[in-house]
């Protein structure tokens, strides 16, 4: 997401100051305060998170240090400097048990350490800072970093057959679409438009399963010449693929609020997928 923010921000004329945990440790409140004093940002986007969902079940302290305490440190620095915070959250704040799409009014009930650490960070942001946007996203993919699309392409080159979970549903979301949505909010704030601060859901559409998402990845990869042939896919149940952390069965989020308040429409993940696969192909060439 940081790479997409840098690329899109530059095209929109923003001065984007990127940093990482080697240069700014958000778990260190003094480090965060000093960074704000030195760079005096107009707005802060927190795309940092501990996202190793299964490892978090063992690395509890680290997950909470980054996702809860780090978010709180940024919120306090923003409050002290009168800077709005755009904070990325997750579908994992919900347990995924309800059948309908989750809205911003539904009560979170995390079922994993990762989800709990993110939810507690969200609550501290809400408590500390008035000028905040908490954007809940899900199933994020991009040409950079570790994500489902790149994992599927790697496995396709290693195996002829794959079992893919088919009973979890969500909305794959291209990091570029998230970056574009964040920058639209930045632009509206910069133009001194009235901002309705608070929590917003933002995921790709249409809703799909991991199995169908994988099928789309392989079909488009073959079409683009990124793969010679797709692996054979077998639909499996969540119970057939046990993991240390429990995944939400339903990660579909209702995105009408962000459309109503900012005019930001829910993106088609299939468009983002083609862009990512084309970028990956171009990088290989």
36 pLDDT above the threshold of 70: yes
On average, the pLDDT of the chain sits at 96
The residue with tokens 């929590």 is: 199
Average pLDDT over residues 234-256: 97
The pLDDT assigned to 213 comes to 98
The pLDDT assigned to 22 comes to 85
If one looks up domain 2-284 in CATH, what number appears?
3.40.50.720
The pLDDT assigned to 11 comes to 86
DSSP-derived letter for residue 52 is -
Helical axes 71-81 vs 29-39, angle rounded to 10° = 40
Average pLDDT over residues 90-114: 98
Average pLDDT over residues 73-87: 98
Cα separation, 272 vs 251, in Å, equals 19
The token pair that represents 129 in the structure block: 């800072």
Least trusted range by pLDDT, from 6-10, 68-72, 128-132: 6-10
Catalytic residue (one of 35, 50, 114, 202): 114
Domain regions of the chain by residue span: 2-284
Least trusted range by pLDDT, from 5-9, 131-135, 245-249: 5-9
The pLDDT assigned to 153 comes to 96
With H, G, I as helix, E, B as strand and everything else as coil, classify residue 134. strand
212 pLDDT above the threshold of 70: yes
- 114 flagged as catalytic: yes
Helical axes 71-81 vs 113-128, angle rounded to 10° = 10
Average pLDDT over residues 28-51: 95
**pLDDT band at 285; cut points 50, 70, 90:** low
User: Would you say the C-alpha torsion 228, 234, 239, 240 has a positive or negative sign?
Assistant: negative
């Amino acid at each position: 997401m940081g790479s997409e923010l840098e690329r899109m921000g530059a095209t929109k004329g923003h001065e984007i100051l990127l940093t990482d945990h080697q240069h700014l440790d958000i778990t260190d409140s003094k480090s965060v305060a000093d960074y704000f004093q030195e760079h005096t940002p107009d707005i802060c986007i927190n795309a940092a998170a501990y996202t190793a969902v299964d490892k978090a079940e063992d690395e509890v302290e680290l997950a909470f240090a980054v996702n809860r305490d780090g978010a709180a440190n940024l919120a306090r620095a923003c409050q002290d400097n009168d800077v709005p915070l755009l904070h990325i959250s997750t579908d994992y704040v919900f347990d995924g048990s309800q059948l309908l799409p989750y809205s911003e009014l539904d009560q979170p009930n995390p079922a994993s350490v990762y989800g709990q650490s993110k939810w507690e960070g969200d609550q501290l942001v809400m408590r500390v800072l008035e000028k905040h946007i908490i954007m809940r996203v899900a199933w994020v993919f991009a040409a950079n970093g570790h994500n489902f699309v790149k994992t599927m392409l790697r496995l396709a080159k290693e195996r002829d057959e794959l079992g893919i979970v088919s009973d979890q549903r969500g909305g794959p979301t291209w990091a570029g679409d998230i970056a574009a949505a964040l920058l639209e909010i930045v632009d509206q704030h910069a133009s001194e438009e009235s901002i309705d601060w608070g929590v917003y859901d933002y995921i790709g559409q249409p809703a799909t399963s991991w199995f169908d998402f994988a099928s789309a990845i392989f079909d488009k990869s073959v079409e683009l010449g990124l793969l010679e042939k797709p692996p054979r896919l077998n639909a499996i149940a969540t119970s057939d693929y046990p993991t240390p952390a429990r995944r939400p069965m339903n990660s579909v989020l209702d995105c009408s609020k962000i459309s109503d308040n900012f005019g930001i429409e829910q993106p088609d993940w299939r468009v983002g997928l083609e862009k990512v696969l084309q970028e990956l192909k171009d990088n290989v060439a």
